[in-house]
Amino acid sequence: MHASLLQIGPDEGESVDSRRTRVASLVREQAGVDLVVLPELWTTGAFAYESFDAEAEPLEGPTYEVMAAAARDAGVWLHAGSIPERDADGHLYNTSLVFSPTGELAAAYRKIHRFGFDKGEAVLMSPGEDLVTVRLPETTLGLATCYDLRFPELFRGLVDAGAETLVIPAGWPERRRGHWSLLARARAVENQAFVVACGSAGAHAGVPQAGFSVVVDPWGEVVGELAHAEEGVLRVRIDPERVGVTREQFPALKDRRLR
CA distance 171 to 245: 32
Which among 24, 9, 1 has a CA at the least distance from the CA of 228?
Answer: 9
| Annotation says 40 is catalytic | yes
Q: Which of 40, 85, 164, 225 is catalytic?
A: 40
Angle between helices 152-160 and 177-191 in degrees, nearest 10: 30
Cβ 172 vs Cβ 200: under 8 Å: yes
CA distance 253 to 259: 11
Cβ 41 vs Cβ 171: under 8 Å: yes
Strand order in the sheet with 165-169: 133-135, 140-143, 165-169, 194-198, 214-216, 222-225
| Annotation says 198 is catalytic | no
Amino acid at 186: A
| Annotation says 111 is catalytic | yes
Count the alpha carbons within 13 Å of 65 in the hemisphere toward its beta carbon: 6
Q: Which of 55, 111, 121, 164 is catalytic?
A: 111
CA distance 248 to 11: 46
Q: Which of 55, 85, 121, 146 is catalytic?
A: 146
CA distance 142 to 175: 27
Give the torsion through C-alpha atoms of 135, 136, 140, 143, to 10 deg. Answer: -80
Collect all residues with Cβ–Cβ distance below 8 Å to 241 and sequence separation of at least 6. Answer: none
Q: Which residues are catalytic?
A: 40, 111, 146
